[in-house]
Amino acid sequence: MTVDHRASSNSHFLPHLKTINFRIHLPFSTLLVSMVQSRWIPDGSDAAELGVDCLDVVKIQVLISDDPPIDPLLRPLLAMKARGLQCTVSFDKLG
């Protein structure tokens, strides 16, 4: 996939993105949560006005070497899940 960085600032990257899967290592950045929040727009008229589809499904596989932590970065995702986002987070030990 390539991105045209000269494109208008009004264009949206992947405007029809509805499902996304992440495979990440801890610790991860708040930018991950911010990205999910920016594309989860449950009000259809708001999403249409912005010119993007609402992100419906988020799957996050966190790769860890120890016991899974209770990460405060996940709290906003859990709040969105309670409001309808299909979000799953799994922890998998490395090798």
Residue 14 Rama label (left phi>0; alpha psi -120 to 50; beta): left
Residue 81: Cβ-neighbour burial (10 angstroms; 0-12, 13-18, 19+): middle
Longest alpha-carbon distance in the chain: 46
pLDDT in tens, 3-55: 454 555 557 788 899 999 999 887 777 788 888 998 999 898 998 899 999 99
Higher pLDDT, 31 or 58: 58
Q: Supply the pLDDT for residue 2.
A: 47
Asked if pLDDT for residue 83 goes beyond 70, the answer is yes
Please, are residues 43 and 84 in contact by the beta-carbon 8 Å criterion?
no
Q: Supply the pLDDT for residue 70.
A: 67
Percent of the chain with pLDDT over 70: 85
